[in-house]
Amino acid sequence: MEEIALTPRRSRLALAAVAVAGSVVLALAACGGGSSGNSGSVSVPAGGTDDGTTITLWSRAPLEKQATNAVKEYNKSHKNQVKLELLPNDDVEGKVGAAVQTDSLPDILAGDVVRVPYWTQQGIFRDLTQQIDALPNKADLQSGHIKAGTVDGKEHTLPFVTDISVMVWNKDLYKAAGLDPEKGPANLNDFVTQAKAVAALGKKDVAGTYVAGQSGGALVFTLFPMLWGNGEKALNDAGTQSMANSDSAKKIYAAYRELANTPNGLGAGSKTETGATWTAPFQNGKVGVEPYPATAVSALFKTSKFQIGVAPIPGVDGGSSTFLGGDAIGISKDSKHVAQAWNFLAWLMSEQAQQSVFADNNDTASNIKVLENGYKSADPRTLIANGTIKTGQTPIATNFNEAFNAAGSPWQILFQDAVWGDASKVDSDNQAITSALGQ
């Protein structure tokens, strides 16, 4: 069997988990290099090794369904056995930071794709360039999660779970408002017009739209596609400069500000929504139209008491895009079972695994061929959502979490100012985002 040399990326920094203002963050501490046993190269068969070894995998608890399905499918067909540990979302940073200090990371680590660039920079993942490039179907894999783990041209991660954002609307409310229930918004103006029409119904507890005003992660997930669909960028290519104060971005904020000042335009609680209950208002039939997670809406297709429309998120002036979110996955610097870990990853990238683990369970596959051909019996709205992946993007920045996702991030502050506060601060707030990206 052909063998490929795998060389771990030498880490110059260790991550120390420390508590700051009640939240866990990763602090950097200088150290002498990688853990013992990780210098030099390791020969790995092209498909890895399946010899009955137990390998460990950490994944975020919100992805329990997908991670569990992947492990079950692999374990029942391989000698190797994957032992899965699910980490509460808020505990991931602390758990990984502590494990780095003690050289006790699992064999395989999956994490939020926007956090992966930082982890990769710190040497948490092994260099998988040769293995990834040798995959016979690499060209069919969505590239966002590979790019997120690429540093200096070296690839460290593959797609694990792909989550995407779509535009959804309540067809029943659209009918009541005199709107075409089969036609969602095609641009930002349509979005505002349709949301206002639903708001004008004056129905108790029903709003035109809803937004997670205190969740930086939810805001990038739903608003960035409006820029990308317009052919514009949210960040520069280096991930060091924010473009969240562009003319198009300001149009988006102005649209939400207009709805915030319209009776029933924005759902009650939007200003303080942290993301914990973000999807509930639409799920309960109380929202007309909203950018929304595809995984959340697909779960409603068979249970909802109202009819749901699904479309790509439109650009400000037209076009469309989606946020390629979810988790990327790689082999950690501490793995002592590299060949066996690669066997799992190589299997997971195959069309067969993508079909059985994701498509057959109405989850979004990361393989383009499976997306195109593996959902023949799926709900047509799932096909619409999957079709957005071709134009989707994943923002890549080493300090993305600090700039955008963290509680109280400058991005979160910008949106609060732009919609409910002093909109003249958008330019200075955007500079604060850029400063956080460059730390």
The whole-number average pLDDT for the span 393-397 is 91
Neighbouring-strand partners of residue 29: 14
Please indicate whether residue 412 or residue 387 has the higher confidence score (pLDDT): 412
- CA distance linking residue 194 with residue 171, whole number of Å: 11
CATH no. for 3-162+325-374 = 3.40.190.10
Joined tokens for residue 248: 């198009």
Q: Flag whether pLDDT at 431 surpasses 90.
A: yes
Q: Flag whether pLDDT at 9 surpasses 50.
A: no
User: To 10 degrees, the CA torsion angle through 196, 198, 203, 205?
Assistant: -80
Q: Flag whether pLDDT at 46 surpasses 90.
A: no
**Banded pLDDT at 6 (limits 50, 70, 90):** low
Q: Flag whether pLDDT at 8 surpasses 60.
A: no
Q: What is the structure's pLDDT at 89?
A: 82
Joined tokens for residue 318: 């037209």
Q: What is the structure's pLDDT at 299?
A: 82
Q: Is residue 212 within 8 Å of 419, Cβ to Cβ?
A: no
Report the mean per-residue pLDDT for the chain. Answer: 89
The residue with tokens 């029903």 is: 206
Please indicate whether residue 2 or residue 311 has the higher confidence score (pLDDT): 311
Maximal C-alpha separation, the chain: 69
Q: Flag whether pLDDT at 139 surpasses 90.
A: yes
- CA distance linking residue 265 with residue 268, whole number of Å: 9
pLDDT one-digit tens code per residue, 160-186: 999 899 999 999 999 999 999 999 999
SS (H, E, C) the chain: CCEEEECECCCCEEEEEEEECCEEEEEEEECCCCCCCCCCCEEEECCCCCCCCEEEEEEEHHHHHHHHHHHHHHHCCCCCEEEEEEECHHHHHHHHHHHHHCCCCCCEEEEECCCHHHHHHCCCEECCHHHHHHCCCHHHECCHHHHHCEECCEECCEEEEEECEEEEEEHHHHHHCCCCCCCCCCCHHHHHHHHHHHHCCCCCCCECECCCCCCHHHHHHHHHHHHHCCCCCCECCCCCCECCCCHHHHHHHHHHHHHHCCCCCECCCCCCCCCCCCCHHHHCCCECEEEEEHHHHHCCCCCCCCCEEEECEECCCCCEECECEEEEEEEECCCCCHHHHHHHHHHHCCHHHHHHHHHHHCCCCCEHHHHHHCCCCCCHHHHHHHHHHHHCECCCCCCHHHHHHCCCCHHHHHHHHHHHCCHHHHHHHHHHHHHHHCC
The pTM for the full model equals: 0.81
**Banded pLDDT at 98 (limits 50, 70, 90):** very high
165-323+395-437: CATH topology: D-Maltodextrin-Binding Protein; domain 2 (3.40.190)
User: To 10 degrees, the CA torsion angle through 20, 272, 234, 21?
Assistant: 0
Q: What is the structure's pLDDT at 40?
A: 34
pLDDT one-digit tens code per residue, 280-338: 999 999 999 999 999 889 889 989 999 999 999 999 999 999 999 999 999 999 999 99
Q: Is residue 97 within 8 Å of 16, Cβ to Cβ?
A: yes
Q: What is the structure's pLDDT at 288?
A: 98
- CA distance linking residue 369 with residue 359, whole number of Å: 11
Q: What is the structure's pLDDT at 1?
A: 42
- Percent of the chain whose pLDDT exceeds 90: 77
Q: What is the structure's pLDDT at 385?
A: 92
AA identity, residue 357: V
The whole-number average pLDDT for the span 24-44 is 38
Task: Give residue limits of the domains in the chain.
Answer: 3-162+325-374, 165-323+395-437
State residue 158 phi and psi, 5-degree precision.
-125, 165
| Topology match between the domains 3-162+325-374 and 165-323+395-437 | yes
pLDDT one-digit tens code per residue, 179-208: 999 999 999 999 999 999 999 999 999 999
